[in-house]
């Protein structure tokens, strides 16, 4: 992480501090596994929480949207944002109700989005977005033309102030509960690809990333 990324008061996890990991690799891994982030911003009257697709390139998280859309309008108004990404990994079943938990990976980033103005850089980043979803797809889909590119905003959030929080492993039961006749352990969960559905107008053979989609871990 850049030198300015030391934990601030906001990103220092106050509770369960042992779960906080401030390392760049962990942050990148969470962002790179995600399809969507949730963006919180305050418009002067209300707070909003908006889900949108995201991807990482270097030390930035990127989102994109239609120029005229509310998301782009709000995020380019110099509003400070808080962006959260959460990946569910499992249910943690303890012997007591109180000690139940969940396994997850999450990241929170604070900052301000900047507009990517350069058309060539926008193209490069949007190709990267497609590669993030399906490596190779960016070489096959018809690229955006000038009109489409002009209608799309790409917004960049520098990963300067970010925290990662991960919970994994089994339940932690209290000593007095250890012998209760209750099943204890973890029920893992995983986002998995399901059988692809070709569109009615599709006439071409499925490429590799489509053929191997079903049954693959995809998040």
CB of 170 to its own copies, least distance (A): 4
Is residue 177 part of the contact set for its own copies (CB under 8 A)? yes
Residues of this chain, 19-58, that bind its own copies according to CB under 8 A: 35-36, 38-42, 46-51, 53
How distant, in Å, are the alpha carbons of 96, 167, 189 from that of 91?
A: 14, 11, 8
Instruction: Tell me if 187 contacts its own copies by CB under 8 A.
Output: yes
Q: Which stretch binds its own copies (CB under 8 A): 23-31, 55-63, 73-81, 112-120?
A: 73-81
The side-by-side arrangement of strands in the sheet containing 161-167 is 20-21, 161-167, 101-111, 81-93, 36-42, 47-53
The residue among 21, 17, 15, 19 whose CA lies nearest residue 162 is 21
Q: How many residues bind its own copies (CB under 8 A)?
A: 95
Q: Considering only the stretches 24-32, 55-63, 81-89, 112-120, report the one whose residues sit in contact with its own copies under the rule CB under 8 A.
A: 81-89
In angstroms, the CA 130 to CA 125 distance is 9
Helix (H, G, I), strand (E, B) or coil at 163: strand
115 three-state secondary structure: strand
What's the rounded Cα separation, in Å, for the pair 41 and 37? 13
Residue 195 binds its own copies (CB under 8 A): yes
Give the residue, chosen from 54, 94, 116, 157, that forms a contact with its own copies under the rule CB under 8 A.
94
What whole-number distance in Å separates Cα of residue 70 and Cα of residue 49? 12
Give the integer Cα–Cα distance in Å for 84 and 49.
Answer: 10
Name the pairing type of β-strands 101-111 and 47-53.
Answer: unpaired
Regarding 97 and contact with its own copies (CB under 8 A), the answer is: yes
Check binding of 183 to its own copies (CB under 8 A): yes
128 makes contact with its own copies (CB under 8 A): no
Stretch that binds its own copies, among 18-26, 54-62, 113-121, 174-182 (CB under 8 A): 174-182
Q: What residues between 199 and 218 interact with its own copies by CB under 8 A?
A: 199-207, 210, 213, 218
Stretch that binds its own copies, among 23-31, 55-63, 112-120, 178-186 (CB under 8 A): 178-186
């Amino acid at each position: 992480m850049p030198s300015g990324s030391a934990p601030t008061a906001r990103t220092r996890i106050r509770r369960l501090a042992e779960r906080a990991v401030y390392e760049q690799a962990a942050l990148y891994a969470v962002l790179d596994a995600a399809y969507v982030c949730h963006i919180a911003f305050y418009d002067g009257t209300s707070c909003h929480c908006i889900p949108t697709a995201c991807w990482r390139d270097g030390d930035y998280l990127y989102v994109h949207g239609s120029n005229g859309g509310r998301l782009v309008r709000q995020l380019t108004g110099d509003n400070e944002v808080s962006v959260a990404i959460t990946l569910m990994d499992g249910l943690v079943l303890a012997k007591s109700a109180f000690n139940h938990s969940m396994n997850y990976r999450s990241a929170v980033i604070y900052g301000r989005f900047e507009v990517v103005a350069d058309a060539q850089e926008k193209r490069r980043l949007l190709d990267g977005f497609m590669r993030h979803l399906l490596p190779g797809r960016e070489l096959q889909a018809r690229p955006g033309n000038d009109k489409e590119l002009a209608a799309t905003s790409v917004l960049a959030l520098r990963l300067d102030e970010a925290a990662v929080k991960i919970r994994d492993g089994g339940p932690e039961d209290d000593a007095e509960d250890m012998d209760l006749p209750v099943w204890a352990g973890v029920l893992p969960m995983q986002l998995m690809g399901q059988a692809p559905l070709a569109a009615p107008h599709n006439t071409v053979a499925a490429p590799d990333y489509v053929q191997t989609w079903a049954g693959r871990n995809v998040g």
